[in-house]
Structure 1
Amino acid sequence: VALLDQLEVQQREVSGDGYPCGLQLKLSCLATAMHRGEPAAMLDIDPVLAQLREAITEPDFTRSLVKRLLLDNSHRVTITLTPDPELNQKMIEQEAAKLAAIKASLSAQDQQTVIKTSAALQQRQASEDDPGVLPKVGLDDVPAMAAPPSLEQSDVNAQPVAFYPQGTNGLSYQQVICALPELQQDQLPLLSLHNRLLTEVGIGQHDYLQTQSWQTRVCGGINAYSSMRGKLDDEQSISGYFTLSAKGLAARADAIDELMASTLQQPRFDEQQRIAELIARYTARTEQSVTGSGHGLAMSAACQGMSPIAHYSHSNGGLLGIQRLKALNKSLSNADAQAQLSEQLQALHQALCANPRQFLAVGEAGQQSAITAALQQHWPTSTNGDNSALKLAGIRQTARELWVCNSQVNFCAKAYPTVPAGHADAAPLTVLAGLMRNGFLHTAVREQGGAYGGGASQDSMNAAFRFYSYRDPRLCGTLDDFDQSIAWVLETRHEWRAIEEAILGVVSSLDKPSSPAGTAKQHYHDNLFGRTPQQQQRFRQAVLDVQAGDLLRVADTYLRDREASIGIVTHSGEAAQYTELCERENIRIHTL
């Protein structure tokens, strides 16, 4: 029954926060269509679920499936893969040998052909395409900002509740939120770890296995996270919130609230062996993710001195955080260390739950009374804590670091201090990033430099302007391209068409559609941090009003002749190149 509920949640959920819901539905049907099945049947599984709910009443249903599909249908393929620590070097040598063989086989005429073809390619890359061959969308075509979702506010047991009536297709989404309290210095590094562990350990008298079964029975997912942001006009002044979030069938609203309340009130951080195993798993998974998210890690390293949140992100979720997680994992081979961590996590959890609670619920309009009744039953008036607020030490300084990791490629980043979201220059800086990406960086870093990707962005939360490259074969050349892009902006006459494209790109990202539930949750959390619809409308209009002179002014003010912070993720094979670079640019070398 629980598994069928999970299937129903997956079928009913209206997604679209990552990419359009319609595209997701098409992709979900693709495999069926490729095998000449009926794609529509993949979208409407209600009849199948009804049949399965009836079939599982037969005692031998599952047993017969296992026997027919697994035990009596044995197929086995065994593949043994042995890691080769010298694989990268061997591939480089093989490529060099292959190129040398090709070069040796070329006649003089062949060599001239290669030279001419290369020159023609460079000329083609440097040429400008005729934009007139494509349909044009202009600023006049930009619609008005979408209205915010409707919201109904109330109180349950003297605790505020925000309910958003949205088209959720029979699902309900619930969150309990507490403002992050003032934490001790030794508690901050454990915050993200606590959030990951909270829904993975046992509850009360239930161990983690029993708790997982409980979660599967009543909901389609439960997780905890923390969010932090700076003020609109001051990136050094921050606030944060802890959130426990769950979703499931509307009929399970009461059971979901019971699970959430128990999760917050009785977590089993005394399951020391379970916690040690999870941390070992997190460590391995995080190390493996470096190559896929190296550009984000490089930007985090470059921006670590820009704001308290940037410093926290690098120290806990960035490269320094990965290094600390590895050290913690290694220390947990000691039983005393496991016991100490268990006590620290429990103390941190008590601190997080001390502040007053507030609730967010998203569901169909007719679900409000059932959700309110569930909240009334399972969430008594919260005890009055000290109402303390999270504090992080201010920071605004340059950072230059290079991290040597288990990677076959490079990720480069530069960052310059700029302004927070509430400043008048935030809008032109955001547009400037798009102009530089479209007009210079894509060609220089990707097409000519060979990186998989590259660009620039204005990070208003941390008041920083960032350059980055993704899966990059170069180091020094890419950093030089970042500098040359600044000179290009200041010394080139930019057509209004290019500026308009950059403006439209920003507006497109601001207006990106989301799922009904995602829209409601985003609206609620934006308001927690002072990002009201009125503020967002002002920023959107400021983007639409950007002129060429604004771009030149902010580039000259914040980027010309300014000292940049640098973050690089690379590998030991680049030692000959990065050693000289680090000495010249005063970059500190770290090993992950």
Structure 2
Amino acid sequence: MTHPAFTLVRRTPIVSLHLTFEEYRHNKTGARHIHLAAEDSNNVFMVTFLTVPEDSTGVAHILEHTTLCGSERYPVRDPFFMMTRRSLNTFMNAFTGSDWTAYPFASQSNKDFDNLLQVYLDAVFFPLLEPLDFAQEGHRLEFEKVDDVNSPLVYKGVVYNEMKGAMSSPVQRLVIALNKYLYPTTTYHYNSGGEPSDIPNLTHAQLKAFHASHYHPSNAAFFTYGDLSAERHQGFFETCALSRFESLDTHLSVANEQRFTAPQAITLNYPIGEQEETEDKTHILLAWLLNNSTDVRENLNADLLAGVLLDNSASPLRHALETTDLGLSPSALCGFDENAKESCFVCGLEGSNPEEAEAVEALIFDVLNEVAEHGVDASLVESVLHQIELAQREVSGDGMPYGLQLLLQCVSPLLHGGDPIAFLEIDEALNALREDCKNPEFIPQLTRRLLLDNPHRIRLVMQPDSTLATQELSAEIARLATIKAQLTETAKQQLIEQAKILKTKQENSSDPDILPKVTLADVPADLFIPEGTQRAIANIPTTWYTRSTNGMVYMSVAIDLPALSSELLEYVPLFCDCLSEVGCGERGYRENVAWQALICGGLGTRLKICSSVDDPQIVRSTFVLSTKSLIRNQQATAQLLCDTLSKVRFDELGRLRELIEQIRSDQDNGITERGHEYVSAVANSGISPTAAIANRWYGLEGLLAIRALDDSLTDSTALKALGQKLTQIRDAFLTAPRQLLVVCEPEQQVHLAEILETCWQTVPAVKLNNPLFQPAPVKRLIRQAWAISTTVNFCAKAYPVTAANHRDTPALIVLGDFLRNGYIHRAIREQGGAYGGTAVYDGEKGVFRFLSYRDPRLSESLHDFDRALDWLQQSKHDARVLEEAILGVIGRIDRPGSPAGEAVNAFMAGLHGRIPEQRRALRQRILEVTIDDLQRVAMTYLQAERASVAVLGESKILDTLEGTWERRTV
């Protein structure tokens, strides 16, 4: 059935995805509705708008934020974040792309879904867009000392600080520059997130005008997925929004780019620390504008070519980029990008130097000319086709709901005039591509047409500049000084008054009962956890999970971490990083990675270090090697898993050198993007062995260690010693206690068991009484300040608390949400201007921590963490606030994943004592937590003298910190 306000355009089954595609048009406004009807209770909604900024003020991004700050029907201060607390959602977010803005959510509860749908519809179509919300979320001027007109002016605003943090990353700067010069005449030329220097130019009136012109139903596309009917959704669309609109010719579209007649070369700078060396830190990219991304065949052609050239170390262009002395590693941006209306292909190096630009370009063209002249091996083409097929087949959904992932594939084609069905059902196009690939000239022809004969190309060189950060800061200070000099006394007082009014608004609580909600009575009685069965393989304990995997098989071996020497222990993460990238048995590394691509979805490694459910100082450590494959390749993949464990080689010394350089380069480029993870790891590191190891392996200590290792590998002797250490780790893992995990469909189990039995009989047996890794207890206070090159800060404060099974743990879990909802969000984000702040219990480490990220403040945020605890003890709290915190926790616990992911998570949790009975009991105890419990556990565990503290920030900002700190430099 179709709602009377809509007309059905078409209905098409998509057999490979087990769903039906339905397309509708709203009769009056022309709004489009795509519904994917599927037998899935995790229903998804998303409304999208084509948004085409004409400058870099971040108008679309700031509108996304302010849209969610109150609406006509729900005039509360923060309905979006309030609904995250009054919901059992499995996903809630909003995001701004380069040419569209989306507002998605998902829920397994029909009542909750309807609640969220009404709030979202009112938010996007009837937002209040009040000036104070614009000032809070976008940008505003305040005095450094809010009530002192003699202090300097400063810029504040959530988006402003978010983008200052984003632009501290060289890779983010590279992306923005790439779009600016590859798309010089279309909307992609601009930074849709907002350039920090341009954001203050946006006015409130311009924001409202952008909403009026872009957020109209005639420019809207609704997307839904799941087992609720399209007609049901359309009833809400019509009643809550569409009935109040008439058709509007918005005239919005993205034009095709004007094509270059000749390639262009651009050189830009990016900031690094004043004391940092500039050598080997230049990014050199080549980028080509390709075809309209609404053409699925052209997309597949370009995706295939990019895969053939770059997918892995067996690919000719990646091999050339990995092995050249012109730079450290292939650029993180290498590959095919179809996110814009017209797609692009990018390749290049990071860790180079400006004078190598010509040589890098020549290297790339040498490879392209070689491919155009002689082609590539047919097996390489087949491996890329296999990876495309595998990605199409897999039912994902662990990080983002599967239905939302499918809907996102439809957005760009629909908004730019393409056919979304073609991007969901690609079997016909893929079969046609396979036929084309039988012609050995097909890849050479693509190389010539898309790249060699395509003049719309740029060479982008982005080099480090140790003075640029100071220049940019000086320009901002001068701009603010000029503004201040032009302010009248009245204007100065108005700024003080605005700051007071905004603070009052932020501190005043809105009436939450205006918003719909679910209650604890709506929480499902039970927690779904897949149950496995036990059936040994070659005397190895094996857990089998029967799941609907759409013809895919998932296999893993889990190995208890053996007792290694302290020297070898430091190399375990490196062993994991290199394992799938080196040779195996008779295969060298290039042959090995090519074989992996041909038969499976790659090899994944995972180190799970987790505290005992009864004592944070007792640790269980597990190494997991995993793979996935189509059924037809299960035998080859099973053998690959065994061979990798027993025959992996670390004797190709040049390859080891390349891998270390790549790992170092990747970590160096991700410091500011991962700042919140790093600061958390430092603060946690004195609390438990698990936390200490996490910092040594994956924190800033690990980053410094990989740099030192890279610097030490100056000759073949050092490289050979490294290879020997990694081989020793392999040998130790090979005889340590192990288990197998298999996830597949029931009809595959008998044959797969026979395959695995044969494979694993060839692997050396486990040594009896093999000693296992058990680190010493860790109990020490941390107070560290790390200097990094950034324009924003990251703060963390951590306390030692209880293990998972302790009676106080449920209250500590709820306390995190309670403090974040009631105090931290307001103080850190709304008032402090940080992009985010949180409080959370981490049972794997026995830690409770506070965190702020992309934060303009340091000491003030640390004080706010303490004030949150004062607020908890001194204020009177409504039972509603407790219920909201509990709902948030239960929503995360109950969140579904992919069929295979749920099984893998259940298995891994069980290995570390989180068996189904324990998890269900903990969930039930969470539902019974009281406010008295929250106050008691905070008083018991979150005492000032027990706190470890860590901050990351620019060196001069760290100088303003109060008290004594251990200073470190990244």
One fold, TM greater than 0.5?
yes
Tell me the CA shift for residue 178 of structure 1.
1.5
Q: How does 1:109-124 map to 2 (within 5 A)?
A: 109-124=490-505
Aligned length, in residue pairs = 587
| CA distance 1:313–1:561, change in 2 (3 Å) | closer
Structure 1 residue 425 and structure 2 residue 808: aligned? yes
Whether 1:4 aligns to 2:385 is yes
SS at match of 2:605: strand
Q: Which runs of 5+ in 1 are unaligned?
A: none
CA distance in 2, matches of 1:560, 1:466: 12
Query: Residues of 2 paired with 1:560 and 1:395: CA distance?
Result: 18
CA deviations over 1:458-487 (Å, ceiling 9, x no partner): 112222210111011111111111111111
What is the CA deviation profile of residues 274-325 of structure 1, one whole-angstrom value per residue up to 9, with x for unaligned ones?
1111111111111221211111211111111111111111111111111111
C-alpha separation in 2, matches of 1:201 and 1:451: 42
Match of 1:451 in 2: 834
C-alpha contact (below 8 Å) 2:601/2:629 kept by paired residues:
yes
User: What does residue 93 of structure 1 align with?
Assistant: 474
Q: Deviations over 1:148-178 (max 9, x none)?
A: 2242321222122222111111111111122
Paired residue secondary structure (1:577): coil
Equivalence for 2:928: 545
Which one-letter code corresponds to 2:666 in the other structure?
R
Matched, 1:198 2:576: no
Partner in structure 2 of residue 182 of structure 1: 563
| Alpha-carbon distance in structure 1 between the residues aligned to 2:736 and 2:649 | 21
Picking from 772, 785, 806, the partner of 1:402 is 785
The structure showing larger relative contact order (alpha-carbon pairs under 8 Å, at least 6 residues apart) is 1
Percent identity reads 39
Matched residue type, 1:328: L
Amino acid at match of 2:765: T
Q: Give 1:23's aligned amino acid.
A: L
Pairwise CA distance, 1:78: 2.4
Unaligned runs of 5+ in 2: 1-381
Tell me if the contact between 2:527 and 2:920 (Cα under 8 Å) persists in the aligned partners.
no
1:414 counterpart residue number: 797
Shift of 1:538: 0.9
Separation of aligned partners in 2, 1:263 and 1:154: 23
- Contact 2:542 2:740 survives alignment (8 Å): yes
1:479 aligns with 2:857: no
Cα distance in 1 for partners of 2:855, 2:495 equals 24
- CA offsets per residue over residues 414-464 of structure 1, 9 Å max, x none? 111111111011110111111111111111111111211111111122222
RMSD: 1.5
1:338 aligns with one of 716, 719, 735: 719
Residue pair 1:434, 1:505 contacting (<8 A) in 2 also: yes
Match of 1:173 in 2: 554
Using the TM superposition, give the Cα deviation of residue 382 of structure 1 relative to its aligned residue in structure 2, in angstroms.
4.1
SS at match of 2:457: coil
Residue in 2 aligned with 1:384? 766
TM-score (norm 2): 0.59
Distance, in Å, in 2 between the alignment partners of 1:61 and 1:90 is: 50
Residue 554 of structure 1 deviates from its aligned partner by: 0.8
Relative to structure 1, the CA distance from residue 390 to residue 575 in structure 2 (aligned partners, 3 Å threshold; closer, same or farther) is: closer
Within 2, Cα distance between the matches of 1:278 and 1:128? 53
Match of 2:907 in 1: 524
Q: Which amino acid aligns with 1:478?
A: S
Aligned residue runs from structure 1 range 48-59, under 5 A? 48-59=429-440
Distance 2:863 2:711 in 1: 39
Q: Distance in 2 between matches of 1:566 and 1:150?
A: 41
Counterpart of 2:779 in structure 1: which amino acid? R
For residues 318-377 of structure 1, give each alpha carbon's deviation from its aligned partner in whole angstroms, at most 9, with x where no partner exists. Answer: 111111111111001132211111111111110011124321111111121232122122
How many Å separate the matches in 1 of 2:597 and 2:867? 54
CA contact (8 A) 1:314 1:321 kept: yes
| Secondary structure of the structure 1 residue equivalent to 2:542 | strand
Aligned partner of 1:67 in structure 2 is: 448
Partner of 2:967: 589
Determine which of 584, 593, 597 is the counterpart of 1:212. Answer: 593
Does 1:133 pair with 2:514?
A: yes
8 Å contact 1:357–1:382 — kept in the other structure? no
Alpha-carbon offset, residue 217 of structure 1: 0.6
User: What SS is found at the alignment partner of 1:83?
Assistant: strand
Q: Distance in 2 between matches of 1:203 and 1:466?
A: 42
Match of 2:418 in 1: 37
CA deviation profile, 1:234-282 (whole Å, cap 9, x unmatched): 1111111111101121111001012112211211211112111111111
Shift of 1:544: 0.4
Specify which of 84, 92, 99 is matched with residue 465 of structure 2: 84
1:491 alignment partner AA: Q
Q: Which deviates more, 14-23 or 26-35?
A: 26-35
Q: 1:501 aligns to what?
A: 884
Q: Indicate the larger mover: 345-354 or 328-337.
A: 328-337
Mean alpha-carbon deviation: is it higher for 345-354 or for 565-574? 565-574
Cα deviation for residue 25 of structure 1 reads: 1.1
Cα deviation, residue 561, structure 1:
4.3
Closer, same or farther: CA 201–561 of 1 in aligned 2, 3 Å: closer
- Contact 2:646-2:730 at 8 Å conserved across structures: no
Q: Is the 8 A contact 2:814 2:889 kept in 1?
A: yes
Instruction: Confirm whether residue 511 of structure 1 aligns to residue 894 of structure 2.
Output: yes
CA contact (8 A) 2:554 2:628 kept: yes
The 1:214/1:347 distance shift into structure 2, 3 A limit, reads same
On the 8 A contact 1:145/1:511 being kept in 2, the answer is: no
The 1-side partners of 2:616 and 2:922 are apart by 17
Change (3 A) 1:82 1:147: closer
Whether the aligned pair in 2 keeps the contact of 1:203 and 1:268 (CA below 8 Å) is yes
Report the more deviating stretch, 489-498 or 261-270: 261-270
Moved more, 455-464 or 143-152: 143-152
Deviation at 1:575, TM superposition (A): 4.2
Three-state SS of the structure 1 residue aligned to 2:567 is coil
For residues 467 and 294 of structure 1, the distance between their equivalents in structure 2, rounded to whole angstroms, comes to 14
CA distance in 2, matches of 1:359, 1:139: 38
Amino acid at match of 1:308: P
SS of the aligned residue for 2:950 comes to strand
* Higher mean displacement: 186-195 or 566-575: 566-575
Distance 1:53 1:330 in 2: 46
> In the alignment, which residue of structure 1 is the partner of 2:695?
314
The one-letter code of the counterpart of 2:566 is Q
Structure 2 Cα separation of the partners of residues 564 and 350 of structure 1: 41
Residue of structure 1 in register with 2:743 after alignment: 362
- Check the 8 A contact 1:429/1:554 in 2, yes or no: yes
CA distance in structure 2 between the partners assigned to 1:277 and 1:126 by the alignment: 54
Q: 1:231 and 2:609 equivalent?
A: no
Which of the pair is proportionally richer in helix?
Answer: 1
Task: Summarize deviations over 1:93-152 as a string: whole Å, max 9, x none.
Answer: 222111121122222332232222222111111111110111021111101223322423
Residue 65 of structure 1: how far off its partner (Å): 2.8
Aligned residue type for 2:886: I
Q: How does 1:272-351 map to 2 (within 5 A)?
A: 272-351=653-732
Alignment partner of 1:251 is 2:615? no
Judge conservation of contact 2:685–2:695 (CA < 8 Å) in 1.
yes
- Is 1:201–1:208's contact at 8 Å kept on the other side of the alignment? yes
Q: Is the 8 A contact 1:356 1:382 kept in 2?
A: no
